[in-house]
Structure 1
Amino acid sequence: MGSKIREYFRVEYQPGERKLVQKIDFFILTFCCLSYFTNYLDRSNLNNAYVSGMREDLNFVGNQLNVINTCFTVGYIIGQIPANLSLHYIKPRYFFPACMVIWAGLTMITASVSKAQSIMVIRFFQGIAEATTFVGTHYILGSWYTERELGKRSGIFTASGLAGTMIGGYIQTGIYHSMNGKHGLAGWRWLFIIDGVITLPVAIYGFIFFPDTPQTTQAFYLTDEERRLAVLRVPPVEDRSPLSLSFFKRSLSSWFFWGFVVLWIIAGETESFSTNALLALYMKSHPTNGYEVSQLNNYPTGVPAVGIISTIFWATLTDFLNGKRYLVGYFIGIVGVATSAMILAASNDPTNPQSTVIVFAAYYWAGAVYACQATFFAWANDALRYEEHMFRAVVLAGMNLGSNSINAWWSIVFYGASMAPWFKRGMWAMIAASIALAIWTAALSYSTAKLETRRKAELATSQQEKGEADNEYA
């Protein structure tokens, strides 16, 4: 085991490759992580604002918060595949920053609203602008990094979004205490303004420094030799225009497409406890306890904190285990069933202080399911490494599209704000989704392993035939 660990950390690089990886680590990961950080900062601020006075100021009723999230999700769904296909025609160095400027502007506009319906419209267009951030970045990471390098980078990227969610709560607390009422604006309005302003410098940084893809990069900090090496590091595949009927037919008839899309549809729902801010809603509607605004914003930050640790741990571990990303599916299945059962048990004695401890423990532990984001998208990138680039882009976008198509109504049906504090229907849905995830993971891992075995056999045969032909010629 010790020798295997040393081998893992002592990677053998070609001449000049280590320096290349260090450069792309710095310029790609800094922009992508900062972009995703601000993306989640701008996205999670709605839940922070909701428990910090927005609900009362705008007279929210029923499940309007969930409807707003659904409007965002619908826009997000619409933008997924068009956004990733756009990367074939528009340089990512221009496309990503342009989308950031748009969503930053929409975030700041939210500070001026006077009714919940206005936020619904804004969030719809914000969803379209944010559609490429997650799946587009995973496409870029898969274009630059080898299979051995990909998991850790995907984990760091995903963790940056969770950091945005976590820090957003502390930012809202600070703004509420220091700026509430300043220039006649409530603290929750200042949150949208400040979050939007924070995003703009990151967009400028990306416009200047982002290196596009290995085949198209003109980054001034890469030498000609480093650009050639970047192309040689990943398998050569044909990259045809994706805007054709035959391309979409091939894509939609591929088991790769449906295998990974269904995987992420199920896995995406195992994140529902966190993405729907259930802990904050539980606290807001607690049967006996009252919580201050600072507590409503700060206590839930433990959920993404656990998510960050779990994400980096599993991303690194699956790299170390030679890409066994499927293990995360079984882990999440166990966590989803256990945490749901804990909350259902606590709901039987809601006024008992011990039940509050159990619920907090369950929601914090449930943050560990965030590990599936990095590992499952890295798994898709690994499996599609020998497929054409735009097909890989479509599968990655399709995964998020499929998941969010379900999220658009799933949160209303199972986790509506009016169902707080116990969300019993949602707990049973989580148990079902967790069991389904474990089953689908097993089936998909069997299929991908079988394909990899056949691919290696074909490669060995090809090399043998080539060797025999060379000997004949000699």
Structure 2
Amino acid sequence: MFAKFASYIKGHESVPGEAKLLRKLDLFILSFCCLCYFANYLDRTNINNAYVSGMREELNFHGNQLNQINTVFTVGYIVGQVPSNLALTFVPPRLFFPAVMLIWGGLTMITAAVSNPQGIMAIRFFLGLAESSTFVGTHYILGSWYTEKELGKRSGIFTASGLAGTMFGGFIQTGIHSSMDGMQGLSGWRWLFIIDGLITIPIAIYGFIVFPDTPTTTKARYLTAEEKALAVSRMPESGAVKVPLNTAFLKSVFCTWYWYAFVMLWVIAGETESFSTNSLLALYMQSHPTHSYSVPQLNNYPTGVPAVGIVSTLFWATLTDFMGGKRYLVGYFIGITGIVTSALILACFDRTSVVFGAYYWAGAVYACQATFFAWCNDAMREKDARLRSVVIASMNMGSNAVNAWWSIIFYSADLAPRFTRGMWAMIACSIALALWTLGITLMTVREERRSSGVREGDDGQVDETQKEV
């Protein structure tokens, strides 16, 4: 076992030249995707940092307008999911990704000029539309290049980069607020949007230069002809097929169990994750009945949540790769975490240290991002590329469709600091996730047996004569 683990850590190659190919892919694919997602999360979550750093008072926010703005963003994000992922099967990703990145960077900078919450709502819709390609698009690309023993770790690194954007966003806002507030007559929160937007420009240029598209279409000069052939041979031939977009394709989407199983999986898991993505700890601190927190504390203390998420994501993504792709283990871990952390907050609300600890621990549920999308990629390797792209996009679309109203009902800012409804919702989702994970595990096992043409007879002996036609 130790020899196997050592071989895994060193990136043992089963084919000559494979380790070198992986190093190149990691250097160029992961570097761009991680930088892209880091900037994506900076631009996406800075609204919460700005809200607690003066924007609420300056623009005269009231009620749950912050939640409404986040909902408008989510609507745009939902609308763009499937079209953007399908676009990657038509437009070279090396052009598509950087182009939309420049668009969302510009929209982020424009946000600095708003004078009311309504203006932010309009901008955030189009920002969501532009950013919809990054998360699901990257998972589609990663699934096109990496095998099931490599994919989890890469998906984990990618996801962790977004969490790092969430975490460092607080520190960046603190630095801007303390050093640039009032510069050129602009508030610190306005400078945050300007700087975040400017960060995207060099990353987009880098993507135009180095991103390699997919194994069957790549023209990357840093890959030799042998490495391009090896990249194609590593992946199932059927998985690279791109069927025509017609009625038959649409029917195939809704007639496959993969769509229903994995979309619902991410709908449920996404709502366990929303416990952390809705910045509940920051809102808890801001509305605390007895404690008063400074602006730096409001921005810095919640960064512990994504920090825990990064550790959990990398741990589980690496572990499930090492264990041969057993992604379902994460579903059970998250189920336990969701129940325990919510129960602690409900039972020990008056003990601030316990509440802080529970919110930090709850950040561990971020591990589901990397592992569940890797699970879908693993399960659909033999399916055509466009079907896989639609299922991946639909997973995130379904989750965000629920998020569009879920946060308002369960995590509205005016429900702070207790969020009692949200705690019970988290417990219910955690139980549902464990059960749904079990169901998909049974389905994937059955599908593997069917695809290999193996049937078990009544006497327990394997009957290999029955082949699926």
TM-score range, shorter chain: over 0.9
How far is the alpha carbon of 1:455 from its aligned partner? 2.5
Matched residue SS, 1:148:
coil
Judge conservation of contact 2:63–2:413 (CA < 8 Å) in 1: yes
Judge conservation of contact 1:165–1:304 (CA < 8 Å) in 2: yes
Post-superposition Cα deviations, 1:4-24, rounded to whole Å, max 9, x if no partner, equal: 323433523312221111111
What is the aligned partner in structure 1 of residue 65 from structure 2? 64
What is the aligned partner in structure 2 of residue 388 from structure 1? 384
CA distance in 1, matches of 2:348, 2:116: 36
How far is the alpha carbon of 1:457 from its aligned partner? 4.1
What is the aligned partner in structure 2 of residue 430 from structure 1? 426
1:32 paired to 2:28? no
1:204 paired to 2:205? yes
**C-alpha root-mean-square deviation of aligned residues, in Å?**
1.3
Give the letter aligned to residue 321 of structure 1: M
CA distance in 2, matches of 1:241, 1:457: 24
Moved more, 242-251 or 61-70: 242-251
CA distance in 2, matches of 1:59, 1:451: 55
What is the aligned partner in structure 2 of residue 469 from structure 1? none
Structure 2 gaps of 5+ residues are 456-463
What is the aligned partner in structure 2 of residue 313 from structure 1? 315
What is the aligned partner in structure 1 of residue 405 from structure 2? 409
Q: TM-score, normalised by structure 2?
A: 0.95
1:80 paired to 2:76? no
Judge conservation of contact 1:242–1:248 (CA < 8 Å) in 2: no
Moved more, 208-217 or 230-239: 230-239
How far is the alpha carbon of 1:220 from its aligned partner? 1.1
User: Following superposition of structure 1 onto structure 2, how do residues 59-458 of structure 1 map, counting pairs within 5 Å?
Assistant: 59-237=60-238, 239-347=241-349, 350=350, 355-457=351-453
Q: Percent identity?
A: 68
Give the letter aligned to residue 14 of structure 2: Y
How far is the alpha carbon of 1:299 from its aligned partner? 0.2
CA distance in 2, matches of 1:409, 1:424: 17
Matched residue SS, 1:215:
coil
Number of residue pairs the alignment of both structures matches: 455
CA distance in 1, matches of 2:31, 2:390: 25
Post-superposition Cα deviations, 1:257-277, rounded to whole Å, max 9, x if no partner, equal: 100000000000001121100
Judge conservation of contact 1:281–1:420 (CA < 8 Å) in 2: yes
How far is the alpha carbon of 1:334 from its aligned partner? 0.5
Give the letter aligned to residue 273 of structure 1: F
CA distance in 1, matches of 2:198, 2:454: 53
CA distance in 2, matches of 1:325, 1:199: 32
Post-superposition Cα deviations, 1:175-223, rounded to whole Å, max 9, x if no partner, equal: 0000000000000000000000011100000001100000110011111
CA distance in 1, matches of 2:426, 2:14: 44
CA distance in 2, matches of 1:333, 1:152: 22
How far is the alpha carbon of 1:242 from its aligned partner? 4.3
Give the letter aligned to residue 300 of structure 1: P
How far is the alpha carbon of 1:25 from its aligned partner? 0.8
How far is the alpha carbon of 1:228 from its aligned partner? 1.1
Change (3 A) 1:124 1:242: farther
Give the letter aligned to residue 139 of structure 1: Y
Give the letter aligned to residue 417 of structure 2: P
CA distance in 2, matches of 1:73, 1:240: 29
Give the letter aligned to residue 25 of structure 1: D
Judge conservation of contact 1:85–1:242 (CA < 8 Å) in 2: no
Structure 1 gaps of 5+ residues are 466-474
Judge conservation of contact 1:166–1:304 (CA < 8 Å) in 2: yes
Give the letter aligned to residue 402 of structure 1: G
Judge conservation of contact 1:42–1:195 (CA < 8 Å) in 2: yes
Q: Which aligned segments of 4 or more residues in structure 1 are displaced greater than 3 angstroms?
A: 456-459
What is the aligned partner in structure 2 of residue 470 from structure 1? none
How far is the alpha carbon of 1:345 from its aligned partner? 1.1
Matched residue SS, 1:271:
helix
CA distance in 2, matches of 1:428, 1:280: 20
